Amino acid sequence: MVQKPAFKRVLLKLSGEALMGSQSSGIDEQIVARVADEIREIYDLGVELAVVVGGGNIIRGVAASDRGLDRVTGDNMGMLATVINALALQDALEKREVSTRVQTAIEIQDVAEPFIRRRAIRHLEKGRVVIFAGGTGNPYFTTDSAAGLRANEIHAEVLLKGTNVDGVYTADPAKDSSAELLREISYQQVLEKNLRVMDTAAISLCRDNDIPIVVFRLMEPGNLRRVVCGESVGSVVR
């Protein structure tokens, strides 16, 4: 039986850390290939997909500033790191015959298109996966904020947050064995309980524009397809 997608247009937030696998930093090509395989599954369903990719596997602006680097400089370096990840993901997708475009919030026209909202939407309508890199293009904003912003700009029906845990817990399950998985939670509860699903700006953007957030384990084979097809996977913030 062929599954039918529950959503027409989605945005996937992919952290940079997810791409480094068990390495301490950098890009694990096998992990990128697995992510590309998951994306290919929903591409074949005809879902319009945009991806916001982070850069934490290479450098995080906040962490760099803690070590003495100027915060703006660190954030600019982090935005450049997201472009590296976006190009790696684009390469893996195109090897799987998935038509892909990379758009950046900071202009690097020799390697990617500049972010233009109407062009991005047109790519989606034509069946291309659009990877948004460069965050928002501004320091002091995370790629979570970029995901919330882009999801609103392209009128995504849902924001999918691919993580290394099963969903939203009452506490960090790696540190607290009594932590419970929350299948559904409100935006306000996430903010009040400081559950760190995404940053405050991203949660607020999605709340104000009624875009649900699904938090799920990305590396579980088939999970992305299950979420897109409306199955109960992970946690829903709405």
pLDDT in tens, 34-66: 999 999 999 999 999 999 999 988 987 777 777
C-alpha pair distances (Å), 177 with each of 136, 162, 168, 174, 183: 36, 22, 14, 7, 17
Whole-prediction pTM value?
A: 0.93
- How far is Cα of residue 176 from the mean position of the Cα atoms in its chain? 26
- Percent pLDDT > 70 in the chain is 99
Of residues 175 and 11, more confidently modeled: 11
Model confidence over 122-132: pLDDT tens digits? 999 999 999 99
At residue 41's C-alpha, the angle toward residues 39 and 46, to 5°, is 95
Contact predicate 22/39, CB 8 Å? no
Side-chain half-sphere CA neighbours of 187 within 13 A? 17
Q: Indicate whether 83 pLDDT > 60.
A: yes
Q: Indicate whether 1 pLDDT > 60.
A: no
Mean pLDDT, range 67-93, rounded to an integer:
93
Q: Place 2 in a pLDDT band, splitting at 50, 70 and 90.
A: low
Choice among 28-32, 95-99, 194-198, 213-217 with the minimum mean pLDDT:
194-198
Model confidence over 147-161: pLDDT tens digits? 999 999 999 999 999
In the structure encoding, which two tokens stand for residue 56, read together?
């934490």
pLDDT number for residue 178: 86
Of residues 117 and 21, more confidently modeled: 117
C-alpha pair distances (Å), 186 with each of 18, 49, 177, 183, 204: 26, 25, 23, 11, 11
> What's the length of the chain?
238
How large is the greatest C-alpha to C-alpha distance in the chain, in angstroms?
Answer: 56
Model confidence over 18-40: pLDDT tens digits? 898 888 889 999 999 999 999 99
Among 21-30, 70-79, 119-128, 212-221, the range with the most confident prediction by mean pLDDT is 119-128
Average pLDDT of every residue of the chain: 92
Residue boundaries of the structural domains of the chain: 9-237
CATH number of 9-237: 3.40.1160.10
